[in-house]
Amino acid sequence: MFRFWFRELMGWVLVLLGLGIFYVCLAFLLVEGRILEAPVIAAIGVFVFRGGIHLLKVAVAARIAMQVAKGAAPPARKQASVPLDW
């Protein structure tokens, strides 16, 4: 259970870090006018942001799958195979 929370926390950290990188990219463009450096930093921000979104999706899916597995009915017994008498 703890590993799902850890994944979700790290996902949020990466999402916020990606947004921070986008802010730095915007500052490079508006304040300093660095046209060549900003797209490289924006690409890094996209990868970090998408990594955070992916970790969030995986953590939520794992938590839901764990809850479904707890509430599911036990597997049915396999019926004995008896040859049919024609």
pLDDT at 56: 94
Within-domain flag for 51 = yes
pLDDT at 50: 97
Structural domain boundaries, residue 14: 2-70
pLDDT at 66: 85
Name residues of the chain where pLDDT drops below 70.
Answer: 1, 73, 75-76, 78-80, 82-86
The per-residue DSSP string of the chain comes to -HHHHHHHHHHHHHHHHHHHHHHHHHHIIIII--TTHHHHHHHHHHHHHHHHHHHHHHHHHHHHHHHHHHHSPPPPPPPP------
Within-domain flag for 11 = yes
As separate numbers, helices (DSSP H) first and strands (DSSP E) second, the chain gives 2, 0
pLDDT at 80: 62
pLDDT at 82: 67
Within-domain flag for 57 = yes
Number of domains in the chain: 1
pLDDT at 72: 72
Measured CA to CA, the distance from residue 64 to residue 54 in angstroms comes to 15
pLDDT at 4: 78
